[in-house]
Amino acid sequence: MIRKIAYFSAEIGFNERIKTYSGGLGILAGDTLKSFADLGVPVVGVTLLYKEGYFKQKIEQGKQIELADEWDPKKLIENTGKTVKVNIMGEDVHINIWRTRIKGISNRTVPIIFLCTDHPKNSSTAKEYTKSLYTGDRLAQEMILGIGGIRALEAVDYYKDVEVFHMNEGHSAFLTLELFRKLNYDEKAVKQRCVFTTHTPVPAGHDKFPYHIVNNHFKGEAKDMMPWKIKEYAGEYELDMSDLAIYFSRFINGVSELHGKVSREMFHNPNITHITNGVHSVSWTHPAMQNVFSKYIPGWMENPELLSQANVIPDGEIWYAHRQAKQELIDHIEREFPGSRFDPDVLTIGFARRAATYKNAMMIFERIDQLINIGKGKLQFIFAGKAHKKDQPGKDTIAGLLDIAHILKGKIKMVYLEDYNISLGKKLTAGVDVWLNTPRPPMEASGTSGMKAAHNGVPHFSTVDGWTIEGFKMATGGWPIVDIYDLMAILEYTIMPLYYNTRKSRWIGKMKASIVHGASYFNTHRMCKEYVAKAYKMKLSDF
């Protein structure tokens, strides 16, 4: 099978049982590969195989507990039996190559290869390099992904046809050095083949490694892997993975219009452009809503742009599909919190995010007395989200939200659901009535959960950041938030009266606008077509 594009990502989340993702970045990568499969684009995905996943979250006594999230690759993906080696700190590390295929809607497939260092010949240290996501020796992980990834493509015979190497975030940037060596140290030849997508303006999202550590890790590969000009490529004082990726890429993009601009300033690089994110429409639309779409808009699965015709759907059908999704969510809450009795007739607001501080989960509770005043018995809140193991401020946010739930007791129902993952994400984005999003601009590069909500006719209530800037311009049916006073006023005087109006048609109009203007555009089919044309410089009709 000829593969013209290799898509490298440290996380790929496309199946809830294959735990090679932590959140937005991985799910975007999974959705992207699903759309490539649907569209028949000849891509191969490259990632790492983390046997303990990211982590499984439990909430106990007001705190997050992290457990290993083990899964059994043998049951879910195939061991190719092939191996490659990368020398790390003088040790030849053996890497097993696993593979699976994502099947697209017309039966075309996208293979994904997974690299795993759990090999009997490796030292105990090396065996653990790929044990879990975003922990352990990150530099070693990134050498395996970038350098090992190129070697693995060769071992399973995809390499020779690949014309474009797409780095989804800087974690895979060492692939440029391996290509540099293979292409006779011809910088231009590397640049012709590389494309880079940056995903966040948050500094912690850009890995940097001190050179004394880099030199030690690379000592076995050092002679040709750490070229004489590395500091020119990747930074004078530390090796910056994003700078390395940028140096060797002929096309660089951020993931929303605003993020493109923020990235041009951040990297002092006027050539950075943007391709706005999307979500895989079929994967994120509730089955009841899928049925409604299929009945009135045949062909929407192959071409989600057709969702712009959603105004033809009778109000009642949208409403009943939504009620079904909402009831399923309420049943899930009842299983997790017996006796909680969420009410299907009460306006339900959802918020599920990585508990990173810039996501500002506490914003809606800044004027809590006023909130109780206007919302008593008339609002329900559902929160979820993991904090990275080492993110103390993020953990404090979770503790803060649990305190709020306590304060609201008897007045406004609120739960914090454990272990936000793909399946919970599906339930939440389809089952709530309003999707709340309050990041501090301009820190949210794109955000994608609001796009999932839009596919289910769930309007977003959001600060103006990331994708929502474009969304609001397209009249996607949500409500923009400027500050807390604004938030409270919109909630009290616009959202609640609209929701509780006995004539539901105006509310359903908002739901439809989310589908017509949101889902029809903010999907990965549209996004992938942009990557093919603008980044890969290829034509869909050639595949």
Ligand X SMILES: *Cc1c(COP(=O)(O)O)cnc(C)c1O
Tokens standing for residue 169: 């975030």
The position carrying tokens 């009709």 is 541
Cβ proximity to ligand X: between 151 and 388 the closer is 388
Among 449, 456, 476, 523, binds ligand X (CB under 6 A): 449
Cβ proximity to ligand X: between 37 and 451 the closer is 451
Q: Mark residues 307-346: x for contact with ligand X by CB under 6 A, - for none.
A: ----------------------------------------
199 scored as a contact of ligand X (CB under 6 A): no
Closest residue to ligand X, judged by C-beta, is 425
Please report how close the Cβ of residue 350 comes to ligand X at its closest, in angstroms: 11
Please report how close the Cβ of residue 452 comes to ligand X at its closest, in angstroms: 6
Closest by Cα among 427, 425, 448, 437 to 326: 427
The position carrying tokens 């009290």 is 492
Rg (CA), the chain: 23
Among 180, 416, 420, 461, binds ligand X (CB under 6 A): 420
471 scored as a contact of ligand X (CB under 6 A): no
Strands (DSSP E) found in 109-218: 109-116, 164-168, 194-197, 208-210
Q: What is the rounded distance in angstroms from the CA atom of residue 517 to the CA atom of residue 477? A: 8
Backbone torsions φ then ψ of 473, nearest 5 degrees: -60, -30
Q: What is the rounded distance in angstroms from the CA atom of residue 337 to the CA atom of residue 261? A: 44
Residues numbered 345-404 forming contacts with ligand X, rule: CB under 6 A = 353
Q: What is the rounded distance in angstroms from the CA atom of residue 292 to the CA atom of residue 289? A: 5
Among 422, 430, 481, 508, binds ligand X (CB under 6 A): 422
Strands 56-60 and 460-463: unpaired
Please report how close the Cβ of residue 171 comes to ligand X at its closest, in angstroms: 17
285 scored as a contact of ligand X (CB under 6 A): no
The H or E element that residue 350 is part of is strand 347-352
| Residues contacting ligand X: total by CB under 6 A | 12
What is the four-CA torsion angle of 468, 472, 478, 481, rounded to 10 degrees? 70
Residue type, 472: F
Residue type, 192: Q
Q: What is the rounded distance in angstroms from the CA atom of residue 517 to the CA atom of residue 472? A: 9
478 scored as a contact of ligand X (CB under 6 A): no
168 scored as a contact of ligand X (CB under 6 A): no
Q: What is the rounded distance in angstroms from the CA atom of residue 541 to the CA atom of residue 283? A: 25
Cβ proximity to ligand X: between 180 and 420 the closer is 420
Cβ proximity to ligand X: between 5 and 27 the closer is 27
Cis, peptide link before residue 442, omega less than 30° from 0: yes
Please report how close the Cβ of residue 536 comes to ligand X at its closest, in angstroms: 24
Cβ proximity to ligand X: between 52 and 465 the closer is 465
Q: What is the rounded distance in angstroms from the CA atom of residue 30 to the CA atom of residue 56? A: 20
Residues numbered 17-76 forming contacts with ligand X, rule: CB under 6 A = 23-24, 27
Among 148, 447, 459, 478, binds ligand X (CB under 6 A): 447
The CA distances from residue 358 to 362, 435, 447, 463, in Å, are 10, 17, 12, 12
111 scored as a contact of ligand X (CB under 6 A): no
Sheet-wide strand order for 251-254? 78-88, 91-103, 109-116, 43-48, 5-9, 164-168, 194-197, 251-254, 273-274
Cβ proximity to ligand X: between 112 and 428 the closer is 428
Please report how close the Cβ of residue 114 comes to ligand X at its closest, in angstroms: 20
**Residue 348 β-bridge partners:** 380
Stretch that binds ligand X, among 139-147, 361-369, 448-456, 512-520 (CB under 6 A): 448-456
460 scored as a contact of ligand X (CB under 6 A): no
Please report how close the Cβ of residue 389 comes to ligand X at its closest, in angstroms: 16
Structural contact between residues 173 and 10, judged by C-beta atoms closer than 8 angstroms: no
Please report how close the Cβ of residue 499 comes to ligand X at its closest, in angstroms: 22
Cβ proximity to ligand X: between 111 and 450 the closer is 450
Please report how close the Cβ of residue 449 comes to ligand X at its closest, in angstroms: 3
Stretch that binds ligand X, among 211-219, 286-294, 331-339, 447-455 (CB under 6 A): 447-455
Stretch that binds ligand X, among 213-221, 308-316, 405-413, 417-425 (CB under 6 A): 417-425
Among 132, 285, 421, 468, binds ligand X (CB under 6 A): 421
Cβ proximity to ligand X: between 253 and 449 the closer is 449
Structural contact between residues 74 and 83, judged by C-beta atoms closer than 8 angstroms: no
462 scored as a contact of ligand X (CB under 6 A): no
Cβ proximity to ligand X: between 23 and 431 the closer is 23
**Residue 384 β-bridge partners:** 352, 417
Neighbours of 451 (CB within 10 A): 31
Cβ proximity to ligand X: between 360 and 520 the closer is 360
The CA distances from residue 276 to 86, 255, 330, 455, in Å, are 35, 5, 33, 16
523 scored as a contact of ligand X (CB under 6 A): no
3-state secondary structure of 448: coil
Cα 148–chain centre separation: 24
Q: How many residues does the chain have?
A: 543
241 scored as a contact of ligand X (CB under 6 A): no
Stretch that binds ligand X, among 38-46, 180-188, 241-249, 419-427 (CB under 6 A): 419-427
Among 168, 200, 448, 463, binds ligand X (CB under 6 A): 448
| Residues making contact with ligand X (CB under 6 A) | 23-24, 27, 353, 420-422, 425, 447-449, 452
